[in-house]
Structure 1
Amino acid sequence: MQWTCPIRSGAERQPEAPALTFGGRRWTYRELDTEVGRWVAALRSRGVGAGDRVALLATNHVAVARLFFALGRVGAVLAPLNARLTRAELRPLAEEVAPRLTLALTGLADRLPGAEPLESFADTVNSPESGGVTLEPGTPRVILFTSGTTGRPKGAVLTEGNFRASARCSEANLGAHPAPRWLGTLPLFHVGGLAMLTRTAYDGGCLVLRERFVADDTNRAIDEEGVTHASLVATTLERVLEARRDRPVPATFRLALIGGGPVPTPLLARARAAGLLALQTYGLTEACSQVTTEQPDEADGRTAGRPLPGLEVRIAGPGGEVLGPGREGDIEVRGPTVMTGYLNRLEATREALRDGWLRTKDVGRVDGRGRLTVLSRRTDLIVRGGENIYPAELEAVLASHPAVQEAAVVGVPDERWGEVPVAFVATRNGAPLPEELGVWCRESLAGFKVPARFLPIEALPRNAMGKVERAVLRERALAA
């Protein structure tokens, strides 16, 4: 199977349909196709061709979209680096990529030595190139570095086939839309952001790209710009609801995917009361974003849903044996969205991919209806006196307290029990930490699961995708 650039295909099918908006401007498929053609010419003038890698340091910007599709047309690979990293953190990642070309937004260039300005890269090119290579399922498209919360970041290699399959499987789960308008607030240096960019292009839709998330702006996009879909995390969903004061969303808005970890059930109920269908989802970089997602017609907020059509999920025991419904174990994934491996990391690839299954290192269980509940990352599991404690379970109980804004639980060493849970709690409006949190937890949790300590925090530290940085919290818990 071979494909051409989806922007070129869109320009041939629906040239005047909107493809992208950013910074108050709009580009049709015809206009974006011309812009991508100019970037193709610029890349080729610099000798960038099939198999070459281009390192990029940027926040969301229209130039990132142009670069991504232009690289596809020349058969080159994009390596977007996390714009929140320091110069010291970026150096080894750039060295591992060994790029033919390095680009960065002007305000970030000082962190990436040798980077050329991204915004003006194609400014000197007047004549776009119309040709391009055909893309096959195994054509590498992106190298995305994992967050590195459990060690040195690894570059997951994702292919054109991975992105196409991810879009196809997601549409099969959510239902087709004649002209989706997806709000792009997730960073394009993350798999979630790139999934939205590619998904809208394959579906002939429009990406409503934003530089960053702002609650009032998100509501404006929902109310005034005809946005039909959005991808959020629990904290941003709550900020959206707070900003709109639970005012119902218009009928044009179809649904929001909520990732980044378990979502408090009261928050999902609050969203649905405002007519905002919020679907829990579970995914990871190595599987090109979504793995499981609730189905719109049976969403109840209790699980992360079934595997997307075309994907398989199983639960494995310590010896690799497959466990039945309700049993807790390691989550493994198989299907066309799974990466080809880690860049320059043969041993890590062999460890992650076995017999076609991706070993996620996450812990969960599948119910009798095939729906996945994610309990914890294996590295986040707390073992107190031989009993397993999953932070997500404790966090859900804490989040249901009316005074709690958000909470995270980590394990710290303990002489008697080996390890005990410690809870970091951010309260609403900066109120004092409720004294009855221990009692509140004991009403829903076994005694050994109740946190040994409750520590106040203004806001939980999170990475670019909204995931809690538990390593930072462990350090603070030990220091306390």
Structure 2
Amino acid sequence: MHRYSEYFPHRHAHDELDCVPLLVTGLFADPTRAFLQFDDCAITCGEALAHIAHWQAWFDEQGLVQGNSVAVMLGNRPEHIHLIYALMISGLVWVPVNTRLRAAGLEYVLQDAAPKLFLIDDEFDAVSANIDCAGAKRVHLPAFDGASRVSGNARPTTPAIGIHDPLCIIYTSGTTGAPKGVVFTHRMMRIASEAALRVADVREQDRLFMWEPLCHIGGAQMLMLPFLMPVSLHIVPRFSASQFWQQVKRAGATQLHYLGGVLDILMQLAPDTEPKMHTLRVAWGAGVSASAWHDIERRFNVALRECYGMTECSSFATLNATNKAGSIGRPLPWFDLELLDENGREVGIGEPGEIVLTSRVEGALLPTYLNNEQATQSALRNGKLHTGDHARRDADGDLYFIGRSTDSMRVRGENVSAWEIERIFAAHPAVQASAAIGVASSVGEQDILLNVQFKDGAVTWEGLHAWASERLAAFQLPRYYRAVAQFELTASERIRKHLLSRDTGDAWDRLQH
């Protein structure tokens, strides 16, 4: 492995690419510094230190020791952020629980992670009251009276924590099976944070708008950024299209993360709902199609920074820094990326292949999936991470995302990405969500069946198909359309496509009309 100093310019002396020393040093450097803003409440480093000290005393009362796991089901709020910092500094393993999980999904995470405590907000009392907590003690968020008024003199204690020790267990979506718990180390979190600075083109004094749920790596990786550069985080409880531009104005926000279709939602708003002038400079994330790229840039007057990644590779693997529409760019400097066919051979220019990663930085790839050796061996082979995602590379060396191996189809000699089709239909005002799958074709290979969940309002299949015909290539057009009342989703809000029927008997066939 190469030394990592050339890749991460924000390292300090004796920095081993870790989180805890960076966090502790940053908090003590200037207790009066306001590094977080939650709605209209500024939080200083001294206040954060006081809260962390209170949390550590509470951990002792609960009998927690280094290495214990704590499951956390909380919304975005200051107490949640202080708790995460306290868990990190204490060497405890944070198990973020998706706040949308219910019943069996919630029980699965608790049974697999086996935490000592299950910490919840009052609002999740009802949904967690009757589940099997698998031995975890269910505890409501404690109140620390006067914690915010304590000065920065409180000194949290920090045990010896290794850079490869687990910081958290993050559960992936599990589109074709049960969710997998990614053992996410302290070094992986540091790399994710460093990469976020690069991907979002962060500059000194930037104000990063943070709406992402803290139960996802997209939110968690942001918490170290104020200690890598003199920037601040402006946090809101959740994304709200109706409040978005007012929140951006109050925050003076310079960056927007467009995870989860945020740009699609904003593009569907009436143009007169947004200000003529705003402070956003960069929109960064994944999922902007080539066809929508320049329209988004013109409307919002931002630079798009498209990337690709997954939790297993410390969040980020590629970055489009050249503004080539539709591309996910090229590998970040510490990664080597291959596109391999089913026989493990490198594919040619323009051909689809599985994204396979190796890293020049020790510890950039997941060490293991929790309690799942079979999945670990499948993903990690000979030091390489086989992502299960597919892409193609153009003659310039730029990459284009195609989709999951289970999420692409072969139609009339063309490789078709379900993701690309679904991105187009997401822009239709009547479509709530869609899922494209391949079905057997009488003329070899496959036809496309599009499952559609509609919003309120009537639309005909003929009208929907005519609309799509203006936006998709002929080989990308679905042959079959089927209405779905509601999709079954994974813990991270992805459609469980493996549960969708391939039977076209109840579908509308455009060739028969």
- Conservation of the 8 A alpha-carbon contact between 1:222 and 1:249: no
Confirm whether residue 353 of structure 1 aligns to residue 390 of structure 2: no
Report the more deviating stretch, 167-176 or 458-467: 458-467
1:391 to partner: Cα distance: 1.3
- Conservation of the 8 A alpha-carbon contact between 2:36 and 2:235: yes
Counterpart of 1:36 in structure 2 is 52
Distance 1:468 1:144, change over 3 A: same
User: 2:390 and 2:412 mapped to 1: Cα distance?
Assistant: 19
Distance 1:6 1:340, change over 3 A: same
1:285 to partner: Cα distance: 1.8
Q: 2:175 aligns with which of 138, 146, 149?
A: 149
What value does the CA root-mean-square deviation take over the aligned residues?
3.4
Counterpart of 1:258 in structure 2 is 285
| AA at the equivalent of 1:371 | D
Counterpart of 1:329 in structure 2 is 353
User: 1:356 and 1:216 mapped to 2: Cα distance?
Assistant: 46
SS in 1 for 2:36: strand
User: 1:439 and 1:47 mapped to 2: Cα distance?
Assistant: 63
Confirm whether residue 225 of structure 1 aligns to residue 225 of structure 2: no
1:39 to partner: Cα distance: 0.9
User: 1:118 and 1:180 mapped to 2: Cα distance?
Assistant: 35
Identity %: 27
User: 2:402 and 2:293 mapped to 1: Cα distance?
Assistant: 19
Name the TM-score, length of structure 1 as normaliser. 0.86
- Conservation of the 8 A alpha-carbon contact between 2:189 and 2:314: yes
- Conservation of the 8 A alpha-carbon contact between 2:75 and 2:213: yes
Distance 1:234 1:117, change over 3 A: closer
Count residues in correspondence. Answer: 477
User: 2:336 and 2:200 mapped to 1: Cα distance?
Assistant: 17
User: 1:272 and 1:405 mapped to 2: Cα distance?
Assistant: 25
Q: 1:288 aligns with which of 303, 307, 314?
A: 314
Confirm whether residue 375 of structure 1 aligns to residue 394 of structure 2: no
User: 1:78 and 1:169 mapped to 2: Cα distance?
Assistant: 21
| AA at the equivalent of 2:395 | G
- Conservation of the 8 A alpha-carbon contact between 1:187 and 1:465: no
Counterpart of 2:27 in structure 1 is 11
Report the more deviating stretch, 38-47 or 143-152: 38-47
User: 1:469 and 1:249 mapped to 2: Cα distance?
Assistant: 40
Report the more deviating stretch, 323-332 or 144-153: 323-332
Counterpart of 1:180 in structure 2 is 206
Confirm whether residue 435 of structure 1 aligns to residue 462 of structure 2: yes
User: 1:309 and 1:251 mapped to 2: Cα distance?
Assistant: 32
Q: 1:238 aligns with which of 264, 274, 280?
A: 264
Name the TM-score, length of structure 2 as normaliser. 0.81
| AA at the equivalent of 1:70 | A
- Conservation of the 8 A alpha-carbon contact between 2:308 and 2:316: yes
- Conservation of the 8 A alpha-carbon contact between 1:186 and 1:465: no
- Conservation of the 8 A alpha-carbon contact between 2:196 and 2:222: no
Q: Deviations over 1:338-384 (max 9, x none)?
A: 21110111221111012222111011112233322111211122345
Confirm whether residue 207 of structure 1 aligns to residue 233 of structure 2: yes
Distance 1:416 1:212, change over 3 A: same
1:293 to partner: Cα distance: 2.5
Counterpart of 1:312 in structure 2 is 336
Counterpart of 1:119 in structure 2 is 141
User: 2:236 and 2:187 mapped to 1: Cα distance?
Assistant: 26
Segments of 5+ residues of structure 1 without an aligned counterpart are none
What pairs with 1:189-204 in structure 2 (closer than 5 Å)? Answer: 189-204=215-230
Segments of 5+ residues of structure 2 without an aligned counterpart are 1-15, 508-513
Report the more deviating stretch, 389-398 or 150-159: 389-398
Counterpart of 2:63 in structure 1 is 47
1:198 to partner: Cα distance: 3.0
- Conservation of the 8 A alpha-carbon contact between 2:209 and 2:251: no
Distance 1:153 1:464, change over 3 A: closer
- Conservation of the 8 A alpha-carbon contact between 2:212 and 2:239: yes
- Conservation of the 8 A alpha-carbon contact between 2:90 and 2:159: yes
| AA at the equivalent of 1:79 | V
